[in-house]
Chain A
Amino acid sequence: MTEPIILFENVDKWFGSFHVLRDVSLTVGKGEKVVVCGPSGSGKSTMIRCVNRLEEHQAGRIVVNGVELSDDLKAIEAIRRDVGMVFQSFNLFPHLTVLENLTLAPLWVRRMPKREAAEIAMHYLERVRIPEQAHKFPGQLSGGQQQRVAIARALCMKPSIMLFDEPTSALDPEMVKEVLDVMTELAEGGMTMVCVTHEMGFARAVADTMVFMADGAVVETSPPAEFFSAPRNERTRQFLSQILAH
């Protein structure tokens, strides 16, 4: 494996008395595509949200891009600048146009000149195939278009890691493909990606590593070929038989 860019070492987290992450250890190499799956409530979203400190871990170490996550705000801001995130519910800013959504962070966080930010924004809008929507508001787009805008928005910061937290779960079925196509292209471009998703077709095609979580713990980590054909763990087998049954 190449050098690790995300490192989880014995990470624990509690929501009150609920033990949501149990001794999670995980290594993601540069350019690696990791797909995290597991039943709902298994802690996969919490895990991915720990990477850019949307959630705080309480024990263990998390190192992203060589920077360890702690209470140091500077370290957190440095990591967030370098980690793009796509949410289940898009979380576009409804009062800003698509273009303004895309240029916001480059302008204010990267302090980029306006022209340059707009050029980069248009470049990524073209990559997600909706440049013609640049001057509309998010509320005027379909769910699939909104999620593609959200992906482009994250890419505008030129991140070295992209996190996807169930990016297609809130979409109508006919819009899932357009989002997955964009993600596949991104993967082919060499981006480091961590995706929480139940899209097993996507996982099979794109993932270098499958991670299966249950009850807050990482139960199985294996390459997709092995993961789908010969899962080692009973829980994994059960989950796969449920999700692939139809």
Chain B
Amino acid sequence: MRNDEQPSATADVEEPSAAVYPPPGEAGPMRLMGWARRRLFNTPTNVALTLLCLWFLWETVPPLLAWALFNAQWTGTPATCREATGACWALVGEKHRLMLFGLYPYDEHWRPLIATLLLLGMLGVSSQRRFWRRGLALAWVAAVAVMAVLMWGGVLGLRPVDTTLWGGLPLTLLLALAGIAVAFPLSIVLALGRRSDLPVVRAVCVGYIELIRGVPLVSVLFMASVMFPLFMPEGVTVDKLLRAQIGIILFTAAYLAEAVRGGLQAIPRGQYEAADAMGLGYWQKTVLIVLPQALRIVIPPMVNQFISTFKDTSLVTIVGLFDLLTSVKASLADPEWRPFFIEAYVFAALIYWCFCFLMSRYSQRLEEDLMAGTRR
């Protein structure tokens, strides 16, 4: 095994100092007491801080648990919810289909459901490095085709569903993932262009990045949705969803490009010189030597941007698209359930959190995998 031979593999891991752990020999509660005395009650300031924290936890955690779990209504009607003191999760049970799929025709909800599950399955498979082969690319092409057929319909006896009716989680995932997938290569081109020796290329890339970074996403989306059609010739229309998607791609690419540029700048000059000296051309040097190293370095800021993009998709509500958050909001249109808006938003927040947390954890693992053995 390659890692076993690595001499410095464990050298970076600092042994925690002895004080962190209780001395051996003491058992159970005594160890805990000893630890607490040494770490939490060792000075008057620490005693005060510890007591303050305990008081704060006492005041917040039990009521929160009572509301969210113990006194919560898991099933029932708005009437039973109103009588209960806890959260009304019955709302989610009642309205989850509207929340998850938005305006998509109710009887056809199985289609976005399968498309979403397929997408999540593909993401799961793709996250495993052992599947990173040519077959995976083909699988993605097939999966995207299946998802498109499911969502659009119009063939194989499926009822056609216009993109204006797409909504909820599938829409959020589409906007975020397609946005990231297209913006990523675009951002690399922009970052390389910004460091190009060709003045025109550099000027175009700098201009683009600075222009897009200088305006809020909301205005980019607004431009794409309201202004853009005004410039189109009569009779030519571009799908509203596509316009919003392009807006997100352009916006994300500008930010990602700056992250990638940071990585490019971190590559020592010697790497370029060694590549030059062996006769590699510009693109060979870039693709084989520079980018693999640069992109590794910028995984953290890149994932930061991915997470940001994922959440920013909720802004498409201003151009009238029913993303996850908008669909959740729409589910509160029913006056009977409207008082339980907190539960609805907590539900939406949990979904966003799950995806963002998974991205974050995955990026950490990827970083470790890629860095293994390559430390200088």
| A195 at the B interface (CB under 8 A) | no
Task: Indicate if the CB atoms of B375 and A139 lie closer than 8 Å.
Answer: yes
Given contacts A136-B5, A139-B376, A140-B5, contact A105 B278 (CB under 8 A): yes
Rounded to whole Å, the gap between the CB of B286 and the closest CB of chain A is 12
Rounded to whole Å, the gap between the CB of A163 and the closest CB of chain B is 8
A167 CA to B277 CA, complexed, in Å: 15
Nearest A residue (CB) for B293 = A95
| B288 at the A interface (CB under 8 A) | yes
Task: Indicate if the CB atoms of A140 and B6 lie closer than 8 Å.
Answer: yes
Task: Indicate if the CB atoms of B277 and A85 lie closer than 8 Å.
Answer: yes
Residues of A close to B6: CB separation below 8 A = 140
| B16 at the A interface (CB under 8 A) | no
| A177 at the B interface (CB under 8 A) | no
Given contacts A91-B271, A140-B6, contact A109 B279 (CB under 8 A): yes
Task: Indicate if the CB atoms of A87 and B274 lie closer than 8 Å.
Answer: yes
Chain A 73-124 residues near chain B, CB threshold 8 A: 77, 80-81, 83-85, 87, 89, 91-95, 104-105, 108-109
Task: Indicate if the CB atoms of B271 and A157 lie closer than 8 Å.
Answer: no
A91 CA to B376 CA, complexed, in Å: 11
Task: Indicate if the CB atoms of A54 and B375 lie closer than 8 Å.
Answer: no
Number of interface residues of B (CB under 8 A): 26
Task: Indicate if the CB atoms of A137 and B374 lie closer than 8 Å.
Answer: yes
Rounded to whole Å, the gap between the CB of A85 and the closest CB of chain B is 4
| B127 at the A interface (CB under 8 A) | no
Task: Indicate if the CB atoms of B273 and A91 lie closer than 8 Å.
Answer: yes
A140 CA to B9 CA, complexed, in Å: 9
Given contacts A80-B276, A104-B278, A109-B279, contact A139 B284 (CB under 8 A): no
Task: Indicate if the CB atoms of A139 and B274 lie closer than 8 Å.
Answer: no
Nearest B residue (CB) for A106 = B278
Task: Indicate if the CB atoms of B278 and A94 lie closer than 8 Å.
Answer: no
Residues of B close to A140: CB separation below 8 A = 5-8, 373
Task: Indicate if the CB atoms of A108 and B280 lie closer than 8 Å.
Answer: yes
Q: Which of A87, A104, A135, A136 is B273 in contact with, Cβ under 8 Å?
A: A87
Residues of A close to B288: CB separation below 8 A = 104, 108
Task: Indicate if the CB atoms of A136 and B373 lie closer than 8 Å.
Answer: yes
Residues of B close to A54: CB separation below 8 A = 273, 276-277
A105 CA to B280 CA, complexed, in Å: 7
Q: What would 5 more interface pairs be, CB under 8 Å, given A85-B278, A92-B274?
A: A93-B271, A109-B278, A109-B280, A109-B284, A139-B376
Residues of A within 8 A of B (CB): 52, 54, 77, 80-81, 83-85, 87, 89, 91-95, 104-105, 108-109, 135-140, 153-154, 157
A-B interface, 10 closest residue pairs, ranked by CB to CB distance from nearest = A91-B274, A80-B279, A91-B270, A105-B278, A85-B277, A81-B279, A137-B373, A109-B279, A139-B376, A139-B375
13 contacts between A and B (CB under 8 A): A77-B281, A80-B277, A87-B277, A91-B268, A91-B273, A104-B288, A105-B279, A109-B278, A109-B284, A136-B373, A137-B2, A140-B6, A157-B278
